[in-house]
């Protein structure tokens, strides 16, 4: 570009401005490049977060392997079929997740969460082994239990191992500790009048479960039906299948009356006495292929009548096929 003879020429000015802008952009690029190599500015990093001996990085791999983002959003990425999981750990705590993930097709009950708190690692992570204190610390878990406990979910039961569950919880713990600067946003419903926009009062939340109990029919249930309900209320179905499928523990189908090989090579008949002992003192006689400590004791959770009801229910599954 050249200027006409005798006319004002600003070509030099334009060139200097362009070079100055280019220089400024180069300086910003270099500064940001240098900043990217500096230590984290107070932000949590996955390598520093763990749960019960599991690393958050490993949990991310499990999350990706099961394509959880096909239904859920986390840290702004994913789908919106299921709820956002970014702050899930901070809202519901580790015991609720431990109760939910093995059997995601049904919402955990209070007893299922209480059972998880018997695990020292879980109680340590939660900061308490008392159910009431836990629900006070994680009110979202209390809300889920009171409104949905024991009901069916829309989520499938995934074949997660105990190790994979621990890794997933470590990953959720990491994302919950991240500074997401307000993500996900909280919907503003001020001024909206339709029922779905009105939050449920705290008093009503606390009354949901008792009200449902009071409205239940008073007719006595059979021992078998009560036993089946107890297995669901206490989270037993998270680890045991009513068929012969092996989950965390053995399947119940065909178990009653069968010959069980124990870890020491001896055998025992799975009769009423053996099943009762397995519920109250599961480490007394370990079945071959399973480890001690995998199943907690229900001695402080169930009375004799409830244990007998569960055994009666298991007795009906003796002819159950896969």
Q: pLDDT at residue 194 above 90?
A: no
Assigned CATH topology for domain 221-315: Cytochrome Bc1 Complex; Chain D, domain 2 (1.10.760)
For 192-204, give the DSSP string: --SGGGSPPPHHH
- Above 50 in pLDDT, residue 176? yes
**Which pLDDT belongs to residue 207?**
44
Q: What is the pLDDT of residue 292?
A: 83
Q: Which pLDDT band holds residue 213 (cuts at 50, 70, 90)?
A: very low
- With 80 as the cut, is the pLDDT of residue 192 above it? no
- pTM of the predicted protein model: 0.68
- Block residue for tokens 């919880």: 169
pLDDT in tens, 59-89: 999 999 999 999 999 988 999 899 999 999 9
Domain ranges of the chain: 46-177, 221-315
Evaluate if residue 217 carries a pLDDT over 60.
Answer: no
- For 124-151, write each residue's pLDDT tens digit: 999 999 999 999 999 999 999 999 988 8
- Rounded CA gap, 31 and 50, in Å? 33
Please tell me the total number of residues recorded for the chain in this structure: 322
pLDDT at 214 (0 to 100)? 41
Mean pLDDT of 50-62: 95
Q: Do domains 46-177 and 221-315 have the same CATH topology?
A: yes
**The two structure tokens encoding residue 236:** 């037993």
What's the rounded mean pLDDT across residues 227-232?
A: 90
- Sequence-distant (6+) residues with CB within 8 A of 236 are 230, 310
Contact 285, 205 (CB under 8 A): no
Strands (E), the chain: 50-51, 54-55, 73-74, 77-78, 259-261, 267-269
Joined tokens for residue 249: 């523990």
Output the CATH code of domain 46-177: 1.10.760
CB of 59 within 8 A of CB of 167? yes
Local structure of residue 129 (DSSP, 8 states):
S
């Amino acid at each position: 570009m050249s200027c006409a003879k005798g006319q004002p020429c600003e070509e030099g000015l334009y060139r200097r401005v362009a070079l100055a802008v280019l220089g400024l952009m180069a300086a910003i690029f270099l500064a940001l490049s240098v900043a990217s190599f500096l230590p984290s500015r107070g932000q949590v990093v996955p390598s520093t977060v763990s749960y019960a001996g599991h690393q958050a990085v490993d949990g991310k791999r499990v999350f990706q392997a099961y394509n959880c983002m096909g239904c859920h959003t986390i840290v702004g990425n994913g789908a919106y079929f299921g709820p956002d999981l970014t702050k899930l750990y901070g809202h519901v705590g580790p015991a609720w997740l431990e109760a939910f993930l093995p059997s995601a097709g049904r919402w955990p009950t209070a007893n299922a969460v209480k059972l998880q708190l018997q695990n020292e690692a879980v109680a340590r992570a939660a900061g308490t082994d008392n159910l009431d204190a836990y629900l006070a610390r994680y009110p979202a878990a209390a809300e889920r239990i009171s409104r949905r406990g024991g009901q069916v979910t829309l989520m499938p039961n995934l074949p997660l191992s105990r190790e994979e569950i621990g890794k997933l919880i470590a990953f959720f713990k990491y994302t919950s500790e991240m500074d997401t600067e307000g993500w996900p946003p909280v919907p503003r419903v001020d001024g909206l009048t339709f029922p779905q926009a009105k939050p449920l009062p705290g008093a009503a939340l606390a009354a949901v479960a008792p009200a449902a109990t009071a409205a239940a029919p008073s007719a006595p249930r059979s021992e078998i039906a009560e036993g089946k309900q107890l297995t669901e209320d206490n989270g037993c179905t998270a680890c045991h299948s009513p068929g012969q499928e092996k989950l965390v523990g053995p399947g119940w189908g065909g178990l009653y009356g069968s010959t069980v090989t124990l870890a020491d090579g001896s055998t025992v008949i799975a009769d009423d006495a053996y099943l009762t002992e397995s519920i109250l003192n599961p480490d007394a006689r370990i079945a071959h292929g399973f480890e001690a400590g995998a199943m907690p004791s229900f001695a402080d959770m169930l009375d004799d009548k409830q244990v007998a009801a569960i055994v009666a229910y298991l007795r009906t599954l003796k002819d159950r096929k896969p």
